Amino acid sequence: MSPHSGFPTLTPAVVVKLNVANANPHGIIHTGSTFTHFDCPSGTIESAEGFLPAFKAKVNFGADWCTFDADREHGRLNLKVVARTDEDASISLDYNGVIRMDEAAWKVFTMQPDAKTMAFGAATGSCHFVVGDEKLKALENDVFAGNGRIIVGENGLVAESRLCQIVPSTDRD
């Protein structure tokens, strides 16, 4: 028996790109963490090439209720997104993640003028979907995890997450 027997595999599934409009700092909360709300009013959610069910959706609401640990080493994402598919069906995504914060990440999250695009790998998370189209119902019955980055562009910040479907093992030990 392989030492990796029973572990799930990952299938590239969904790409999320959210335009970050602004940050709304709210200060320190009872845990000692710092709370900042980020508006993400537009963007896209679409299936990765070859993933089924295939879909494309435009974001019409998104927000991240983000907290940063008191030791400033990690951020906690609590993202909610609502979108409409090209077929006019609703789709919502709830994403929870953790970001390893370093000086470069702090520049991005405090929207400093010298901030640079973050590489994939600093942020990981998991999400679930709620859909309004029976053809997309399979999204509600799967588990997704992935990583993300923040792209610093001329027009502002774009939060990008690449999500994988977690495919259960079928091994019989």
In this predicted model, what pLDDT tens digit does every residue of 1-60 receive, in sequence order? 678 888 999 999 999 999 999 889 999 999 999 999 999 999 999 999 999 999 999 999
Q: Provide the percentage of residues in the chain whose pLDDT is more than 70.
A: 99
Q: What is the mean pLDDT of residues 147-163?
A: 94
- Of 2 and 156, the structure prediction assigns the larger pLDDT to 156
CA separation for the pair 38, 108 (Å, rounded): 12
Cα 67 from Cα 132, distance rounded (Å): 30
**Size (the chain), residues:** 173
Q: How confident is the model at residue 79 (pLDDT cuts 50, 70, 90)?
A: very high
> Looking at residue 170, what is its pLDDT?
87
Q: Give the per-residue pLDDT at 173.
A: 66
Contact 63, 37 (CB under 8 A): yes
Minimal CA–CA distance to 14: which of 83, 69, 87? Answer: 83
Q: How far is CA 160 from the centre of its chain?
A: 7
30 DSSP 8-state letter: T
What would the mean pLDDT of 104-128 be, rounded to a whole number? 93
Q: pLDDT tens across 97-115, in order?
A: 999 999 999 999 988 999 9
Q: pTM score, two decimals? A: 0.93
Determine the 3-state secondary structure of 69 from DSSP.
coil
* 53 prior amide bond cis, ω within 30: yes
pLDDT of the residue at 3: 82
Residues 6+ apart with CB under 8 A from 22: 38, 39
